Amino acid sequence: MSTVYIETYGCQMNVSDSELMYGKLQAEGYAPVDSPVGADVVLVNTCAIRENAEQRVIGRLGELRRDLKPGAVLGVTGCMAQRLGPRLLETDTRVQLVVGPDAYRLLPQLIEGARNGERSTATDFDLEEHYEDFTARRFEGVKAWIPVQRGCDYRCTYCIVPTTRGPERSRRLAEVVRETQEVAAQGITEVVLLGQTVNSYHDGSADFADLLRAVGAVDGIRRVRYTSPHPNDFSDRVIAAMAETPAVCEHVHLPMQSGSTAMLKRMLRRYSREDYLACVERLRAAIPGLAITTDIIVGFPAESDEEFADTLSLCRAVRFDDAFTFKFSAREGTPATRMPPEWTIPAAVVDARYEALVATVRGIAREKNLGRLGERMEVLVEKEARKGGELLQARSRDFKTVLVSGTPDLVGRYLTVELTGTTGATFTGTPVQERQPLPMAV
Ligand code: 5AD
Ligand code: SF4
Give the range of the structural domain holding residue 306, as residue numbers without chain letter.
251-370
387 pLDDT above the threshold of 80 = no
- Expressed in angstroms and rounded, the spacing between residue 238 Cα and the centre of ligand 2 is 20
* Shortest-distance atom of ligand 1 to CA 336: 10
pLDDT tens per residue across span 148-191: 999 999 999 999 999 999 999 999 999 999 999 999 999 999 99
Instruction: Give the pLDDT band of residue 140 (cuts 50, 70, 90).
Output: confident
Ligand showing the shortest atom-to-Cα distance for residue 300: 1
Residue 355, pLDDT > 60, answer yes
Q: Mean pLDDT, the chain, as a whole number?
A: 96
Is 159's C-beta closer than 6 angstroms to any atom of ligand 1? Answer: yes
Domain membership of residue 35 (yes or no) is yes
Ligand 2 atom nearest to CA at 257? 7
User: Is 220 in the same domain as 255?
Assistant: no
Q: Global pTM? A: 0.96
pLDDT at 388 over 80: no
Closest ligand relative to 167 C-alpha: 2
95-106 pLDDT tens trace: 999 999 999 999
Taking the centre of ligand 1 as the mean of its atom positions, its distance from the CA of residue 78, in whole angstroms, is 17
Q: Does one domain contain both 241 and 284?
A: no
Inside any domain, residue 420: yes
Which range, of 148-152, 255-259, 330-334, 430-434, averages the lowest pLDDT?
A: 430-434
Query: Is residue 134 assigned to a domain?
Result: no
159 lines ligand 2 (CB under 6 A): yes
Q: How confident is the model at residue 137 (pLDDT cuts 50, 70, 90)?
A: very high
- 49 Cβ closer than 6 Å to some ligand 1 atom: yes
CATH number at 14 reads: 3.40.50.12160
Q: Are residues 199 and 109 in the same domain?
A: no
Predicted local confidence at residue 439, as pLDDT: 64
Ligand in nearest proximity to the CA of 200: 2
- Rounded to the nearest angstrom, the distance between the alpha carbon of 430 and the centre of ligand 2 is 40
Same domain, 198 and 256: no
Per-residue pLDDT for 51 more than 90? yes
Q: What is the pLDDT of residue 437?
A: 60
Measured in angstroms, how far is the CA atom of residue 258 from the centroid of ligand 1? 11
Specify whether 148 is located in the same domain as 182: yes
pLDDT value of residue 389: 79
**Is there a single domain that holds both residue 353 and residue 401?**
no
CA 165 to ligand 2: nearest atom: 6
**Ligand 1 within 6 A of 164 CB?**
no
**Does the beta carbon of 154 lie inside 6 Å of ligand 2?**
yes
Q: Whose CA is nearest to atom 13 of ligand 1?
A: 295
> What average pLDDT does the segment 62-90 reach?
95
Structural domain total, the chain: 4
Q: What is the number of the ligand closest to the CA of 157?
A: 2
- Which atom, in ligand 1's list, is nearest to the CA of 255? 18
Is the CB of residue 230 below 6 angstroms from any atom belonging to ligand 1?
Answer: no
**Nearest listed ligand to the Cα of residue 10:** 1
Nearest CA to ligand 2 atom 2: 156
Average pLDDT over residues 115-136: 96
Tell me whether residue 437 is in a domain.
no
Q: Same structural domain for residues 316 and 412?
A: no
pLDDT tens for 229-288 read 999 999 999 999 999 999 999 999 999 999 999 999 999 999 999 999 999 999 999 999
Atom of ligand 1 nearest to the CA of 296: 17
For ligand 1, say whether the CB of 271 is within 6 Å of any of its atoms. no
Same structural domain, 245 and 289:
no
Q: For residue 192, give the CATH number of its domain.
A: 3.30.750.210
Q: Determine which of 92-106, 134-148, 425-439 has the lowest per-residue pLDDT on average.
A: 425-439
With respect to residue 104, please indicate whether it lies within any of the assigned structural domains: yes
Does a structural domain hold residue 129? Answer: no
Is residue 404 in some structural domain?
Answer: yes
Nearest atom in ligand 1 to 228's CA: 18
Give the chain as a 3 state SS string. CCEEEEEECCCHHHHHHHHHHHHHHHHCCCEECCCCCCCCEEEEEECCCCHHHHHHHHHHHHHHHHHCCCCCEEEEEEHHHHHHCHHHHHHCCCCCEEECCCCHHHHHHHHHHHHCCCCEEECCCCCCCCCCCCCCCCCCCCEEEEECEECCCCCCCCCCHHHHHCCCEECCHHHHHHHHHHHHHCCCCEEEEECCCHHHCECCCCEHHHHHHHHHCCCCCCEEEEECCCHHHCCHHHHHHHHHCCCECCEEECCCECCCHHHHHHCCCCCCHHHHHHHHHHHHHHCCCCEEEEEEEECCCCCCHHHHHHHHHHHHHHCCCEEEEEECCCCCCCHHHHCCHHHCCCHHHHHHHHHHHHHHHHHHHHHHHHCCCCCEEEEEEEEEEECCCCEEEEEECCCCEEEEECCHHHCCCEEEEEEEEECCCCEEEEECCCCCCCCCCC
Residue 386 pLDDT grade (very low, low, confident, very high; cuts 50, 70, 90): confident
The mean pLDDT of 78-103, rounded to a whole number, is: 97
Whether residues 61 and 159 share a domain: the answer is: no
Q: What is the mean pLDDT of residues 135-160?
A: 96
Does residue 144 sit in the same domain as residue 196? yes
Q: Is residue 439 part of a domain?
A: no
Give the end of a domain, one of 249, 269, 292: 249
Is pLDDT at 436 greater than 70 in this prediction? no
Q: Which of 38-42, 211-215, 356-360, 383-387 has the lowest mean pLDDT?
A: 383-387
